Amino acid sequence: MDDDGPRRLYGESMAAAGSCRACGVELREGARFCDRCGAPAALEDHAFRACLAALGIQHAAEALAAEVMRRDGVTLRLRIGINSGQVIAGEIGSSPGSYTAVGDQVGMAQRMESVAPAGGVILSEASARLVEGRAELGDPELVRIKGAGDPAPARRLLGVAPGGRTGRHEAAMIGREREMDWLTRMFNQTLRGAGRAVCVVGPPGIGKSRLIGEIATIAVTRGTKVFSTFCQSHTGSIPFYAVSGLLRAVFEVDELDAASARERVRARLPGADTEDLVLLDDLLGIRDGADELPVVDPEARRRRLARLVDSAVGSLSRPAVYVVEDVHWVDDVSESMFVELMSALAGTSALVLITHRPEYEVRSAASRNPR
């Protein structure tokens, strides 16, 4: 690979890390890169963002590898290691981009990189603990790393579940009887056609998701559809991100190829405007490349999509539960559409369950001026 190769990889890595927000990339010795998540700004989900960045970098490297093979006859494959822990971080020198992190935990990340499979990502035990339940991980394994007498536990990163959550085993819930009784009454009233929207508010770690999960389980056992989505800290500035996750669940397209998904959407929305359907396809990530995307301003797009969503949820004849978690991280457009969705569900057999932290305040104009 020519001398420009590492710099090009650095550029691709910067783009992939930047897409995860608040991650930074340094070009170090040789063709080695260091991606920081959680410095200089502390991030509670730094390990998950690092996983997203690693997967993005590998995806970018795969595209570049085809060009390198064609031009230079060289097989290009990256190894990525991830570790979490305390470091010393700050500006070293006065040149641009001199912010860096040093310490034993940086060294551990390098050791993880050295034992990662070519084209793969491996996590230390410290990072794996932080992303378990959000990332798809391989079985625990022991790896031998330089400078350590005993093998170190590690896990391979296989991917990230849709919405950033994977199934996980939960112990029996103890307490919360009053809250469970109240939510169960709300659910029962929903079955009788009295739609409800319920906010579960509390600081991180208090059990909001667990409480919602218990109600969702009750709903499923009683034959009620449950549609869920999650807001994420690094997607708060991406328009439509959160609402697209909920709509993919509502239209049940996650397990379908794009063509089958489009057929399902059209079956649910007979008579919908063709251009509006193309906008919806694009939002769901299933648009046919041959379909030209209508040129409309963002507000018009939001209104047209909101009408389709209202029609779709209004056509459901059976009770349903809609779950939107971590709304304190919602993007503005999705927030507005969620407010309109709750307005459309009034008087239907629908229960909307929302979780957020105490500091969250609704920002959208739609909440102040509901239709």
**pLDDT tens digits, one per residue of 307-361:** 888 777 766 668 889 999 999 989 888 898 888 888 777 777 889 999 999 988 8
* pLDDT beyond 50 at 204: yes
- Is 171 inside any structural domain? no
Helical H segments across the chain, by residue range: 4-18, 46-72, 104-115, 125-131, 177-191, 208-221, 241-250, 258-268, 274-284, 298-314, 332-345, 365-368
Give the pLDDT of residue 315: 67
Does 265 score more than 80 pLDDT?
A: yes
Instruction: Give me the number of domains the chain comprises.
Output: 2
Among the three residues 114, 133, 164, which one is the final residue of a domain in this structure?
164
pLDDT digits (tens, 9 = 90+) for 97-124: 565 666 677 778 888 888 888 889 999 9
Judge if 147 and 191 occupy the same domain. no
Facing residues of 88 across strands?
102
By residue range, what is the domain housing residue 110? 4-164
Report residue 254 as tokens: 């996650």
Band of the pLDDT at 367, cuts 50, 70, 90? very low
Q: Is 115 helix (H, G, I), strand (E, B) or coil?
A: helix
pTM above the 0.85 mark?
A: no
CATH of the domain at 125: 3.30.70.1230
How confident is the model over 5-44, as pLDDT tens digits?
555 555 555 555 544 444 555 545 544 555 556 555 566 6
**DSSP assignment of 271-336, as one string?**
T--HHHHHHHHHHHT---TTSPPP---HHHHHHHHHHHHHHHHHT--S-EEEEEE-GGG--HHHHH
Report the share of the chain in percent with pLDDT over 90. 13
Instruction: Specify if 271 maps to a domain.
Output: yes
Q: Which residue has the higher pLDDT, 315 or 228?
A: 228
Residues 15 and 134 in one domain: yes
CA nearest 85: which of 103, 110, 66?
103
Report yes or no on 169 lying in a domain: no
Residues 133 and 269 in one domain: no
Full DSSP string of 138-152: ---EEE--TT-SS-E
Please check whether residues 214 and 316 belong to one and the same domain.
yes
**Confidence band, pLDDT 50/70/90 cuts, at residue 69:** confident
Is the same domain home to 153 and 192? no
Among the three residues 164, 195, 214, which one is the final residue of a domain in this structure?
164
Tell me the CATH number at 262.
3.40.50
- The least confident of 91-95, 217-221, 273-277 is 91-95
Q: Is the pLDDT of residue 370 over 50?
A: no
Q: Is 85 or 100 the better-scoring residue by pLDDT?
A: 85
Identify whether the C-beta of residue 342 lies closer than 8 Å to the C-beta of residue 350: no
How far is residue 285's CA from residue 326's CA, in Å, rounded to a whole number? 22
What Å distances lie between residue 76 and 27, 31, 51, 175, CA to CA?
17, 12, 21, 54
In a domain, 245, yes or no: yes
Shared domain check, 200 and 295: yes
Please check whether residues 132 and 22 belong to one and the same domain: yes
In angstroms, the CA 43 to CA 106 distance is 17
CA atoms within 13 A on the CB side of 212: 27
Answer yes or no: do 12 and 126 share one domain.
Answer: yes
Which residues, other chains included, contact 178 with Cβ-Cβ below 8 Å and sequence gap of 6+?
none
Give the pairing of strands 320-325 and 225-230: parallel
Nearby residues of 257 by Cβ (< 8 Å), 6 or more positions away: none
